[in-house]
């Protein structure tokens, strides 16, 4: 009996090493390819977008008296100096719509989205004099594409033609003392993972601000350093979120983290690395059933059963980027269960194959692996399953004479 257990332990050890190698290769395939795949997605689709509020400045040129020493004499020169002064942003009315559409590359899904951005900004010339005011509107991503771009001041003409350079659109408008203008901005673009709206650098004051965001997804999340909306309203397939502030002083910004889909690569890797635990439970249960039903399970039986278990994870690793992950999981599980049941049916009959081994495999391979689909509950699910298994085994073997069992196995072996 001891020799048989040692042989089974060696089989388990070899299977464990194989799963460690498979799990490592899955993670390597996933993250090595992610480096260039994400660059490709970013290059063709765009990266994370962070829209910053525009600013408006006017320039005052002054001559400054400068004294220098030249050849022992004091020389006075007048140097032209330009100083920029900002005029206040008095109000912001912003509407943005986020349309999420995940894209799969290799073993990973990328949270790509389209954004429709429109905004009106109110500036006031509080300088007391007529000024040529330059409006600067920064784009959220220098490498992104912006369609239907709008940059205008209704009712007024730009003094200089709007231009875009270094990721900033700018133009100049003449404003009378105390005059108020509304600057309209709009575009359609696309990005990846997150969208943010930033008030500016550091802690600042924001007046009469309202941002309305519409999403086509329900699973919303905000950045750790972001402000939560003051109003939430469900729409057909998403949310209508509103941030409304009369006078806000904050260094935080507004943002949305796109919901991630189930990631095939990392999930398949985690399931593979956990596989030895599933096999251990299965082996223990099979040994106990063999004792209770007087079924002689040889180490070679366990070798083939371990290979059938390994087939599940191997097939899943290479189907994960070819099929929807749920289909890949189901197909791989079905193949593995078929291998086990069809093999044991030929040796021990249908009752043992379907009623005991097949059921145990569904519980400890399929259901334990499926627990990884439940984020945050995987450990608890498996722990509950392990405790229930321990309870059942303790109950059914409570009256087993283990001394007699070992003696009988040793007698049969001799």
Q: Do both 31 and 146 map to the same domain?
A: no
Q: Do both 138 and 152 map to the same domain?
A: yes
Which helix (DSSP H) or strand (DSSP E) does residue 336 occupy? helix 325-348
Q: What CA–CA distances, in Å, run from 307 to 8, 77, 95, 129, 303? A: 13, 89, 57, 84, 6
User: How far apart (Å, rounded) are the C-alpha atoms in residues 215 and 155?
Assistant: 32
CA nearest to 364, candidates 295, 288, 300, 284: 284
CA nearest to 144, candidates 53, 48, 55: 48
CA nearest to 8, candidates 305, 371, 259, 344: 305
**Do 86 and 57 contact (CB within 8 A), yes or no?**
yes
The pLDDT value given to residue 46 = 79
Read off φ and ψ for residue 349, nearest 5 degrees.
95, 170
The pLDDT value given to residue 191 = 92
| 282 pLDDT more than 90 | yes
Q: Do both 347 and 198 map to the same domain?
A: no
Which has more pLDDT, 34 or 325? 325
Average pLDDT over residues 325-342: 94
Q: Do both 135 and 162 map to the same domain?
A: yes
The pLDDT value given to residue 132 = 92
- Which CATH number do you get for residue 200? 2.60.40
Sign of dihedral through CA atoms 369, 373, 374, 378? positive
Work out the mean pLDDT of the chain and round it to a whole number: 88
**Radius of gyration, CA atoms only, the chain:** 34
Give the list of residues 6+ apart from residue 280 with CB closer than 8 angstroms, or none.
12
The domain boundary, picked from 232, 257, 282, lies at 257
Which has more pLDDT, 352 or 34? 352
Read off φ and ψ for residue 195, nearest 5 degrees.
-130, 135
The domain boundary, picked from 257, 291, 317, lies at 257
**Do 125 and 162 contact (CB within 8 A), yes or no?**
no
Instruction: Report the number of distinct structural domains present in the chain.
Output: 2
The answer to whether position 42 is within a domain reads no
Tell me the per-residue pLDDT of 23-66, one tens digit each, with 9 for 90 and over: 998 888 887 766 666 777 777 787 899 999 999 999 888 777 76
Q: Do both 88 and 233 map to the same domain?
A: yes
High-pLDDT (> 90) share of the chain, % = 52
| 82 pLDDT more than 90 | no
Instruction: Look up residue 153 and give its DSSP letter.
Output: -
- Say which range, 147-161, 171-185, 390-404, has the weakest mean pLDDT: 390-404
Q: Do both 248 and 129 map to the same domain?
A: yes
The pLDDT value given to residue 327 = 93
The pLDDT value given to residue 254 = 92
How does DSSP assign 203-267, residue by residue? SEEEEEEEEEEEES-S-----TTBPPPSEEEE-SSSEEEEEEEEEEEES-BEEEEPPPPP-HHHH
Read off φ and ψ for residue 97, nearest 5 degrees.
-125, 130
Q: Do both 371 and 300 map to the same domain?
A: yes
**Do 221 and 195 contact (CB within 8 A), yes or no?**
no
The answer to whether position 301 is within a domain reads yes
Which has more pLDDT, 123 or 297? 123
Tell me how far the alpha carbon of residue 91 is from its chain's centroid: 34
The pLDDT value given to residue 171 = 94
Average pLDDT over residues 353-378: 90
| 1 pLDDT more than 70 | no
Please report which confidence band the pLDDT of residue 287 belongs to, taking 50, 70 and 90 as the band edges. confident
User: How far apart (Å, rounded) are the C-alpha atoms in residues 23 and 30?
Assistant: 11
The domain boundary, picked from 235, 257, 279, lies at 257
| 412 pLDDT more than 60 | no
**Do 241 and 231 contact (CB within 8 A), yes or no?**
yes
Read off φ and ψ for residue 6, nearest 5 degrees.
-65, -40
Tell me the per-residue pLDDT of 97-133, one tens digit each, with 9 for 90 and over: 999 998 888 788 889 999 999 999 999 999 889 999 9
The answer to whether position 72 is within a domain reads yes
Q: Do both 105 and 171 map to the same domain?
A: yes
Range of the domain at 227: 47-257
Q: Do both 11 and 57 map to the same domain?
A: no
User: How far apart (Å, rounded) are the C-alpha atoms in residues 206 and 35?
Assistant: 39
Average pLDDT over residues 198-215: 87
The answer to whether position 122 is within a domain reads yes
Tell me the per-residue pLDDT of 139-151, one tens digit each, with 9 for 90 and over: 998 888 899 999 9
The pLDDT value given to residue 249 = 87
The answer to whether position 143 is within a domain reads yes
Average pLDDT over residues 338-366: 92
Q: Do both 67 and 127 map to the same domain?
A: yes
The pLDDT value given to residue 309 = 94
CB atoms within 10 A of CB 253: 18
pTM reported for the whole predicted model: 0.75
**Do 256 and 220 contact (CB within 8 A), yes or no?**
yes
Q: Do both 134 and 21 map to the same domain?
A: no
Q: Do both 30 and 62 map to the same domain?
A: no
The pLDDT value given to residue 410 = 59
């Amino acid at each position: 009996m001891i020799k048989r257990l040692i042989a089974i332990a060696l089989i388990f050890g070899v299977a464990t090493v194989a799963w460690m190698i498979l799990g490592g290769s899955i993670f390597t395939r996933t993250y090595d390819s992610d480096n260039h795949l994400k660059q490709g997605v970013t290059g063709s689709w765009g990266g994370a977008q962070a829209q910053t509020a525009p600013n408006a400045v006017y320039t005052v040129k002054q001559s400054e008296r400068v004294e220098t020493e030249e050849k022992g004499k004091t020389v006075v020169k007048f140097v032209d100096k330009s100083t920029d002064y900002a005029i206040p942003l008095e109000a912001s009315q912003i509407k943005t719509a986020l349309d999420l559409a995940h894209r799969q590359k290799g073993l990973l899904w990328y949270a790509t989205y389209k954004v429709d951005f429109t905004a009106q900004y109110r500036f006031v010339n509080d300088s007391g004099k007529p000024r040529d005011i330059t409006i600067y509107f920064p784009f959220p991503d220098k490498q992104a594409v912006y369609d239907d771009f709008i940059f205008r001041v209704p009712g007024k003409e730009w003094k200089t033609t709007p231009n875009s350079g270094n990721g900033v659109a700018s133009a100049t408008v003449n404003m009378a003392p105390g005059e108020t203008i509304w600057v309209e901005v709009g575009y359609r673009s696309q990005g990846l993972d997150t969208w943010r709206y930033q008030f500016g650098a550091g802690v600042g004051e924001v007046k009469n601000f309202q941002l309305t965001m519409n999403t086509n997804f329900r699973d919303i999340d905000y950045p750790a350093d972001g402000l939560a909306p003051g109003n939430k309203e469900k729409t057909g397939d998403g949310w209508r979120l509103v941030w409304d502030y009369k006078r806000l002083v904050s260094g935080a910004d507004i943002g949305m983290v796109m919901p991630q889909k189930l990631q095939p690569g990392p999930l398949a890797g985690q399931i593979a690395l956990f596989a030895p635990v599933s096999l251990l439970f299965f082996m223990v249960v099979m040994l106990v059933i063999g004792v209770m039903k007087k079924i002689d399970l040889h180490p070679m039986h366990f070798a083939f059963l371990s290979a059938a278990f390994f087939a599940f994870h191997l097939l899943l690793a290479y189907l994960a980027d070819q099929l929807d992950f749920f289909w890949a999981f189901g197909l791989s599980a079905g193949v593995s269960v078929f291998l086990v049941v069809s093999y044991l049916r030929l040796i021990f009959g249908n009752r043992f194959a379907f009623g005991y081994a097949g059921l145990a495999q569904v519980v400890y391979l399929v259901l334990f692996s499926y627990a990884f689909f439940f984020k945050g509950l995987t450990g608890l699910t498996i722990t509950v399953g392990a405790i229930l298994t321990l309870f059942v085994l303790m109950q059914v073997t409570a009256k087993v004479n283990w001394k007699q069992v070992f003696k009988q196995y040793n007698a049969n072996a001799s």
